[in-house]
Structure 1
């Protein structure tokens, strides 16, 4: 039995919750994956998975095995990379979660990365709230704002830039706010991240000004907010990635330039591991480069 291959199969089954999904990821047949898991269980003399006709779950021993299996597989990967560092090519799938605006930006540039690494694949998952990285099988996640989970590795790659905007149609009917304290008299369309949908923060250059709002429309996806503000539904704070083309075309107006929305750090988090696989490091560097190439995110 190839125990490393068996451990890889076990980890993919644990991450995907499915023998068939793991088989696709590993480019194997489902029976082959099943045989590897059975052989691993036989070698360890313990059951790792509970199997029924329509469900799959880790046993207690299986849960305990994940961290050890990761260490073994990552050590083998690191050894392989070190032995052929000049010719190593990223291969395998990377699952990446990120907010929609940055996700759209990244998706436009991914073809170049994948062309350079023919054996690499990337699964983009647009998500506004933090994931259970291990439980959801996520390799990398972009989070906006401070990261409080000390069990995760965290790398800051840039800063957000956002604008308070409205459509000309809305402003013609309701007037234009010039200072934060005038916002309360307007309809607000709010992008909610992790449940925060009732306040906006602005900067006057030295202090942060927090404005409480009572939005009648709250969405947990920035693209939905973007669509709503374009129709004249009210004011919204939008990422420059979404707002800039419409500002340039006159479809949206940038408001209160003296009080820009407060900026947030753009962080990439990943499970605390000593040796990141080459496939994950490659995508991480690609993310950092994408952000670095945009002057409004780079600093």
Structure 2
């Protein structure tokens, strides 16, 4: 039994949580996949998975083995791609990002990337929750703002410029804030996926920064949700310019505190710490770093 095939099946069983799903994916039967995992466990003299009627779970030995398996499979794919006519990226690349960022800043620029690497299968996971890299088989994630996990490597690929904005309807019977401190008199919509929370930071026109602890009756974990809350007149928010796009110039919105710009946030490409960086990860980072340099919404 080919050991590399057994390892591939093991990795996919962990990622999908299902022997039958992997069997369908590989056009084989569930007993074949079970035999491959059993053969691995026999060869390693270690139990890799615990099985119950409801779920599969990695053992401690399985977790350690999985980490090395992913490195091995990436290295094998890169070795194959580097030889002769196969000098191209192959295999699957799993990328995670927020729904809004994927919608506005990744998908519109994918055509060039996929044309350049036609043998690569891209799996783009768009979610506004933070995902577990190992549990969900993520190769690379795009994160905005501070990344605190020391097990992750970060590469800055751009910046998110933001503005402070509310709807014309919201300001109809309210004073427009003139300085950041005025925000304490307003209902502020908080983006809950940032570590800064309700502490908003602004650049001062004279240099330096200032911080305001805002209050409001709504927090949202989605940039698209923030945009809709603004348009619905629910309050003031600090919002990425790329989320609003041409709406910034519409008659329905009022940009405020233009002399006090919210601090721009770095955009990071993030992947697991390890000794080997797969070519598919490196090429994705390089491609979007170059694309973002030409993109006024996310360039430095």
TM-score, structure 1 normalization: 0.88
Cα separation, 2, equivalents of 1:94 and 1:228:
34
Cα separation, 2, equivalents of 1:143 and 1:99:
8
Cα separation, 2, equivalents of 1:124 and 1:74:
18
1:4 and 2:8 aligned: no
Cα separation, 2, equivalents of 1:30 and 1:277:
30
Q: Equivalent residue for 2:238?
A: 237
Q: Secondary structure at the match of 1:266?
A: strand
Q: Equivalent residue for 2:28?
A: 29
Q: Equivalent residue for 2:92?
A: 93
Query: Following TM superposition, by how much is the alpha carbon of 1:195 offset from its aligned partner in structure 2, in angstroms?
Result: 5.7
Number of aligned residues: 297
Cα separation, 1, equivalents of 2:293 and 2:26:
35
Which string of whole-angstrom CA distances, capped at 9 and with x for unpartnered residues, describes residues 142-161 of structure 1?
Answer: 22223333322211111110
Q: Equivalent residue for 2:101?
A: 102
Cα separation, 1, equivalents of 2:97 and 2:138:
11
Query: Following TM superposition, by how much is the alpha carbon of 1:21 offset from its aligned partner in structure 2, in angstroms?
Result: 3.9
Query: Following TM superposition, by how much is the alpha carbon of 1:46 offset from its aligned partner in structure 2, in angstroms?
Result: 3.1
1:288 and 2:298 aligned: no
Q: Which runs of 5+ in 2 are unaligned?
A: none
Q: Equivalent residue for 2:268?
A: 267
Cα separation, 2, equivalents of 1:225 and 1:70:
37
1:173 and 2:176 aligned: no
Contact residue 101 and residue 241 of structure 1 kept, 8 A: no
Report 1:2-151 matches (<5 A): 2-23=2-23, 27-31=26-30, 32-84=32-84, 87-105=86-104, 106-128=106-128, 130-151=130-151
In terms of mean alpha carbon deviation, does 144-153 or 180-189 score higher? 144-153
Q: Summarize the Cα distance change of 1:99–1:184 in structure 2 as closer, same or farther, 3 Å threshold.
A: same
Contact residue 129 and residue 194 of structure 1 kept, 8 A: no
Cα separation, 2, equivalents of 1:195 and 1:263:
14
Query: Following TM superposition, by how much is the alpha carbon of 1:211 offset from its aligned partner in structure 2, in angstroms?
Result: 0.8
Q: Which runs of 5+ in 1 are unaligned?
A: none
Contact residue 75 and residue 278 of structure 2 kept, 8 A: no
Q: Secondary structure at the match of 2:73?
A: helix
Q: Equivalent residue for 2:199?
A: 199
TM-score, structure 2 normalization: 0.88
Cα separation, 1, equivalents of 2:4 and 2:286:
27
Query: Following TM superposition, by how much is the alpha carbon of 1:87 offset from its aligned partner in structure 2, in angstroms?
Result: 4.3
Query: Following TM superposition, by how much is the alpha carbon of 1:218 offset from its aligned partner in structure 2, in angstroms?
Result: 0.5
Contact residue 101 and residue 239 of structure 1 kept, 8 A: no
Contact residue 170 and residue 233 of structure 1 kept, 8 A: yes
What RMSD over aligned residues (CA atoms) do the two structures have, in Å? 2.4
Cα separation, 2, equivalents of 1:21 and 1:279:
25
In terms of mean alpha carbon deviation, does 180-189 or 280-289 score higher? 280-289
Query: Following TM superposition, by how much is the alpha carbon of 1:212 offset from its aligned partner in structure 2, in angstroms?
Result: 0.7
Cα separation, 2, equivalents of 1:123 and 1:254:
37
In terms of mean alpha carbon deviation, does 217-226 or 3-12 score higher? 3-12
Q: Summarize the Cα distance change of 1:111–1:127 in structure 2 as closer, same or farther, 3 Å threshold.
A: same
Q: Summarize the Cα distance change of 1:234–1:60 in structure 2 as closer, same or farther, 3 Å threshold.
A: closer
Cα separation, 2, equivalents of 1:181 and 1:260:
13
